[in-house]
Each structure stands twice: as structure tokens, then as C-alpha cells.
């Protein structure tokens, strides 16, 4: 699929920036990381439903958050228990499955069409992710509070294990196919069209904290130097 930032495939494209770091070789999609993509949640984001739904302000929270593993699920559960009521609109929706969709604890619960942690427009404590708001109140990074899939979007990392035991990790922009079955019917994917490419800085700068958390500070410094 042709995206707003180019037509190269994920790994091995000729526009990849490659950085070796021990047992991991990082491939970075230069076109996306030097683009001016920016999150426009609350500023015209059409959401990921079958029809545009700017008024719902759900962004990419309509299907809940898929959790990476049991450790992340335990962390999210523990953090949810600490949330102040004035920041957590859907606390009453917690049940025997906690904040998860079922006992597998692999996805956050969907309440009235969106993630349990999504405060809706008009909520006195502030709309948006309750975990994000709580992190800011605690003067901490939302990266430490939110599910990894949430704070990484729209950055996607593809991991491939080489025959010699090393790994190739490709860092690129999220694409429609990455949403699985939901992607086929989504009206809009924010990395496809021009609407979200209105940032004042390139992605490698605007998502510096997220990229550092993914690749480590040393690799990020090299990446920033090369792309700048």
C-alpha cells in the first residue's frame, strides 16, 4: 500500500537507515521518521471506525489495547487500582475480569464502544486516556503508565530472528494491515493520508521519548545524528 510517507516495504527497503547494536540490527524507515507526521487526536482525528467519527474523540482507542504479555497486564492492573476517581470515568465498569476483556487478560475491556481507560468528551476530569492523565498528574512519563501498543503508535517494530541467532528489528510507520481484521473496514488510518502530516518537527524529533524507549538512548543518538 502506498502511504503518505512513501512506497517502500517494511524491511530491507533502499531508504532504510541501518544501525547495528550488539545482537540486534535496527532498520529505520527514513521516509517515515523524517516526515512531519503528528498525532491529531482532538484536532480532526477521524478515529478507526468504519465511518469518520471526529466527534467521538476516540482516536485509536475504539477496540481497546492489546497487551504485550502477562507482565504488562499485571502492570496495567496495578496502575488502574491507583487511579483517582476524578481521572477514571469508567471505574464502575471493572468487574471479575478487572480492566480486561476476559480472563486471558490480553486486551483491555471495551466499554460503550471504546477502551475502559478512555474518558469521554465532557468528563470533568478531562477526556482522553485515564492512564495518560494520571501519569501527567504524577509528573511521570505516560510511557511508563500506558500499554506499549498505545504509547508506541504510530511506530511499529517488526522483529525477525536470523539463522545466526541475531535479530533484525525494523522500525516503521504503522499501516492499515497492522490492525488485523479491523484494518480492512477502517474508514481512516492516520498514516495514510495527508491530514496528520502537519507537524512542525520530523517524527525522529517529535517522538524522541518513544523512540528512545524502543531502541535505547545510544542507538537513538546515532539515528538522530544521521537523520538530522
Q: pLDDT tens-digit profile of 158-196? A: 999 999 999 999 999 999 999 998 899 999 999 999 999
**Secondary structure class of 111 (helix, strand, coil):** strand
Look at residue 122 in the predicted model and tell me its pLDDT. 96
Q: Could you read off the pLDDT of 75-112 as tens digits, one per residue?
A: 999 999 999 999 999 999 999 999 999 999 999 999 99
Look at residue 3 in the predicted model and tell me its pLDDT. 37
Q: Could you read off the pLDDT of 4-20 as tens digits, one per residue?
A: 433 333 344 448 999 99
Residues 68-102, buried b or exposed e (16+ Cβ, 10 A)? eeeebbebbeebbeebeeebbbbeeebeeebbbbe
Q: Is 221 left (phi over 0), alpha (psi -120 to 50) or beta?
A: alpha
Q: Could you read off the pLDDT of 34-79 as tens digits, one per residue?
A: 999 999 999 999 999 999 999 999 999 999 999 999 999 999 999 9
Look at residue 228 in the predicted model and tell me its pLDDT. 86
Please give the helix or strand (H or E) that residue 209 lies within, else none: helix 208-215
Amino acid at each position: 500500500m502506498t502511504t503518505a510517507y512513501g512506497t517502500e516495504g517494511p524491511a530491507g527497503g533502499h531508504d532504510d537507515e541501518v544501525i547495528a547494536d550488539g545482537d540486534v540490527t535496527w532498520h529505520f524507515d527514513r521516509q517515515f521518521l523524517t516526515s512531519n507526521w503528528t498525532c491529531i487526536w482532538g484536532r480532526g482525528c477521524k478515529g478507526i471506525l468504519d465511518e469518520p467519527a471526529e466527534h467521538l474523540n476516540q482516536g485509536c482507542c475504539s477496540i481497546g489495547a492489546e497487551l504485550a504479555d502477562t507482565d504488562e497486564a499485571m502492570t496495567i492492573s496495578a496502575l488502574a487500582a491507583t487511579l483517582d476517581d476524578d481521572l477514571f470515568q469508567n471505574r464502575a465498569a471493572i468487574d471479575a475480569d478487572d480492566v480486561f476483556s476476559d480472563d486471558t487478560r490480553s486486551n483491555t475491556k471495551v466499554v460503550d464502544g471504546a477502551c475502559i481507560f478512555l474518558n469521554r468528551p465532557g468528563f470533568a476530569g478531562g477526556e482522553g486516556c485515564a492512564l495518560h492523565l494520571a501519569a501527567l498528574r504524577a509528573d511521570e512519563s505516560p510511557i511508563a503508565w500506558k500499554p506499549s501498543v498505545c504509547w508506541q503508535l504510530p511506530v511499529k517494530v517488526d522483529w525477525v530472528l536470523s539463522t545466526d541467532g541475531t535479530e533484525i528489528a525494523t522500525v516503521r510507520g504503522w499501516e492499515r494491515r497492522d490492525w488485523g481484521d479491523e484494518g480492512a473496514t477502517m474508514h481512516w488510518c492516520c498514516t495514510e493520508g495527508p491530514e496528520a502530516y502537519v507537524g512542525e518537527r520530523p517524527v525522529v524529533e517529535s517522538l524522541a521519548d518513544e523512540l528512545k524507549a524502543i531502541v535505547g538512548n545510544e542507538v537513538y543518538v546515532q539515528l538522530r545524528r544521521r537523520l538530522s
